[in-house]
Amino acid sequence: MLYRISRLVVRLVLRLYFRDLEISRESGLPGRGPVVFAANHPQSITDTLVLGLGVGRKLHYVAHAGLFRNPLKAWFLRRSGVIPVYRPEETADAAMRNEGMFRECARALERGDAIGIFPEGTSREAVRVQPFKTGTARIALETESARGFGLGVVIVPVGISFESRRRFRSRVLVNFGTPIAAADYREAYRDDPRGTVQALTVLLERRTRALVLNLEHEEFAGFLRELERIYRDELLEDPGAASGGATPFARRQALSRELARAVDYYNRTDPGLVALLMARLGDYRKRLDRVRLSDRQIREERTRGVKGETSRLLAAAAAGLPFALYGAFWNILPYKLTGWIAARMAPDGTKYHFYQITVGAVLYGLYYPPIIYLAYILRRPLEATGFLVSLVPTGFFARWYGREMTLQRGRLRLAYLTAAHGYVIGRLRYERRTLIEELNRVRADYTARFDPDRDGAS
């Protein structure tokens, strides 16, 4: 009952916090029976919330024992089926205490339950899946071995991808890979248990990396971001490239994963080309920054005149301004406070979403009831009910309106610069076209050399 209630609350909060929580599956997802869901770990506790909703069944999470230090929190976690795991660097007798963790996991699988685990162990602000620990493979193989490999345990690799590490109302993709049956390792495990655990761990790590954006060398993260910024939309418009997802966000994620693989590939085979492209993209970015324009604006070859963009800005501003002011007035205080407090409480970028969700839930929970109560006292019930219903939608509208006005001001600036400094804009557009042509040549070469086995998906 506690788990069901918590799940309903989490579902509501996440649906409000994230714009979309998308689910993608390579094959059928086991709806029952013993399953170990093994996911990457980019956003700390938020990953557990997202994975739980994506799976759609109760998960017994394996979580860091430090979360159990607070007695009240420990009671809640235990009642929710969470199993503590001890880190050797923090607990002297970790190996002995973790034997209890393995036993609890085995009992859960023997009951036909599901386990959620993050084999990286910790969250890090890296565009790379960290090396997997062997505990996941060991749980599955030891449990199956004890039951003569007749239990039917499967491990499902899961890739969790966040559109942004910090932004409210961004998107999340939960990408489920093809299940791995522990029984397939029966003979190998009988002959070499330790080696089989290691081999299964390596396979699981490779398959998980194939489901998320994974860049082997962190120093190229900035280069990858620039590539995504200038080239991903070009690829999305190419029917031959924009595959690998049922939704626009899933396709963008698939293209980002392929761009990361291409960067890794050319860093190994032609580092000079990578250095050249980095320099050209860096120069292009500097020129954009000088005129305070974005690549998206330069990409739009057709530009309205200053008069047309001014009229458009004024019309949009007049149409939405009353609703935006209303929504901002009633929501800006908890909204701004949430961001300010979360930024100071979160120790790093891997926990920012969780702190925003938690702080926001508390602040809005304290802020809305008094003003709603006052509305019922000062107004008639029907009017007060209308006020209550309007709070959240107009708050979201005010946020959207602010972003749209910023984009429209950017279009107006582009129109002005085109009229006053047409040569500068023309030069930027020419530079962009030559960059795209060069990237298309590299892409053609990459496609010709492509090795389908290099991502370890088999």
**Same domain, yes or no, for 89 and 205?**
yes
**Same domain, yes or no, for 199 and 61?**
yes
Least confident span in 218-222, 232-236, 254-258, 389-393: 232-236
Separation CA 7–CA 116 (nearest Å) = 15
Say what the pTM is: 0.89
Give the residue numbers spanning the domain of 381: 306-420
Tens digit of pLDDT for each residue in 429-456? 999 999 999 999 999 999 888 754 444 4
Would you say residue 457 lies in a domain? no
Separation CA 262–CA 223 (nearest Å) = 12
**Position 407, amino acid:** L
Would you say residue 297 lies in a domain? no
Would you say residue 433 lies in a domain? no
Question: Which stretches of 118-276 are assigned E, i.e. beta strand?
Answer: 154-162, 171-176, 180-181
pLDDT, position 282? 94
Residues 6 or more apart whose Cβ sits within 8 Å of residue 130 = 41, 120, 121, 122, 124
Return the SS3 of 458. Answer: coil
Return the SS3 of 30. Answer: coil
| Number of separate domains in the chain | 3
Would you say residue 278 lies in a domain? yes
Separation CA 260–CA 213 (nearest Å) = 7
In the chain the first and final C-alpha atoms are separated, in Å, by 40
Would you say residue 150 lies in a domain? yes
Would you say residue 184 lies in a domain? yes
DSSP state of 83: E
**Same domain, yes or no, for 316 and 285?**
no
**Same domain, yes or no, for 313 and 395?**
yes
Closest CA to 134 of 84, 204, 86, 189: 204
What is the torsional sign of CA 423, 426, 432, 437? negative
Separation CA 226–CA 168 (nearest Å) = 22
Backbone angles phi, psi at 69, to 5 degrees: -70, -40
Least confident span in 12-16, 188-192, 382-386: 382-386
Would you say residue 442 lies in a domain? no
Return the SS3 of 366. Answer: helix
Residue where one domain finishes, among candidates 291, 316, 347: 291
**Same domain, yes or no, for 152 and 99?**
yes
Q: Is 204 left (phi over 0), alpha (psi -120 to 50) or beta?
A: alpha
**Same domain, yes or no, for 20 and 134?**
yes
Does position 323 have pLDDT exceeding 50, yes or no? yes
Q: What is the CATH number of the domain that holds 121?
A: 3.40.1130.10
Backbone angles phi, psi at 83, to 5 degrees: -110, 125
Closest CA to 157 of 11, 60, 54: 54
* pLDDT (mean) for 90-105: 82
**Same domain, yes or no, for 21 and 133?**
yes
**Same domain, yes or no, for 10 and 159?**
yes
* pLDDT (mean) for 257-267: 94
- For the record, the structure tokens of 308 come out as 């047309």
**Same domain, yes or no, for 111 and 175?**
yes
Residues 6 or more apart whose Cβ sits within 8 Å of residue 406 = none
DSSP state of 132: P
In the numeric block, the tokens 């909060």 are attached to 13
**Same domain, yes or no, for 77 and 8?**
yes
Separation CA 61–CA 416 (nearest Å) = 56
Length of the chain: 458
**Same domain, yes or no, for 118 and 254?**
no
Does position 302 have pLDDT exceeding 70, yes or no? no
Closest CA to 135 of 95, 167, 166: 95
Would you say residue 439 lies in a domain? no
Tens digit of pLDDT for each residue in 140-191? 999 999 999 999 999 999 999 999 988 999 999 999 999 999 999 999 999 9
**Same domain, yes or no, for 17 and 71?**
yes
pLDDT, position 242? 59
Closest CA to 256 of 300, 211, 286: 211
